[in-house]
Amino acid sequence: MFRPLLIALQFLTVLPIRFDGAPDAKATGRSLLYYPLVGLFIGALLATAAWMLSDAPPLVGAAVLLAAWVAVTGALHLDGLADSADAWVGGHGDHDKTLAIMKDPRSGPMAVVTLVLVLLIKFTALVQILSNGAWAFFVVVPVLGRTVLVLLFLTTPYVRPQGLGSLLANHLPRRACALAVVFTLLAIPVLTGPGASWLLAAVAGTFFTLRRLMLRRIEGTTGDTAGALVEITETIALLTAALMY
């Protein structure tokens, strides 16, 4: 149990976790099962920070929270969002060109614009949520962002033959992961109350829309599009929470 959990923490956060030798494929695949739990860990850190900043002006608190959010994840998913934005525009609908652009480490204008817009929406939503003291959403949103990752790998082909993504896709425990997704989604209303239906509907709509776009363009997913899914899901979830209040 602990090795897959540590692998998930190592990959999704900046915690200084080290292993003697490379983790085996089975443990790497099983790490996907713990992604929602890592989301809960990130959310607990954010909720604690929000509580500590409760007396600060909402604008200041939101800026600090957003910086902490980016820092604890190492901007991992933002990098995937940037690469996906460049590829989707620069690929001009072509499968191979889109995949090739995603491998290019350079960022173009579309990547920069997309990152600015996403971070701006997150910031403004955080201001509204902080102003209303709705701290439960700081826990729920990172959980949802990592739960959709599990659902993506369960339902969508991974198109690159190498890398961590292929290990996850080939060795994930399908039944256990499906149960983890169901359990997590059922637990959301306990934390958010009556507004959970709107939140879950927004996240579901985001997931199915982005998954359809991935299948149409590249016939599956990559690590970059998975990262983009996390960022866009979190943004839509935060925006929904802000509009609810």
- Segment 216-234, tens digit of pLDDT: 999 999 999 999 999 999 9
Torsion of CA 86, 236, 223, 181, to 10 degrees: -160
Q: Answer for the pair 237, 144: CB distance below 8 angstroms, yes or no.
A: yes
User: Could you tell me the CA-to-CA distances from 127 to 10, 132, 200 in Å, in that order?
Assistant: 30, 9, 21
232, HSE (Cβ side, Cα atoms, 13 Å): 22
Q: What is the pLDDT of residues 18-60, one digit of tens each?
A: 877 666 888 889 999 999 999 999 999 999 999 999 999 999 9
Q: Answer for the pair 221, 214: CB distance below 8 angstroms, yes or no.
A: yes
Report CA torsion sign: 56, 58, 63, 64: positive
Compute the distance between CA of residue 93 and CA of residue 98 in angstroms, rounded to an integer. Answer: 7
Q: Answer for the pair 11, 149: CB distance below 8 angstroms, yes or no.
A: no
| Model pTM score | 0.95
Torsion of CA 136, 137, 143, 145, to 10 degrees: 180
Confidence label for 180 from pLDDT (cuts 50, 70 and 90): very high
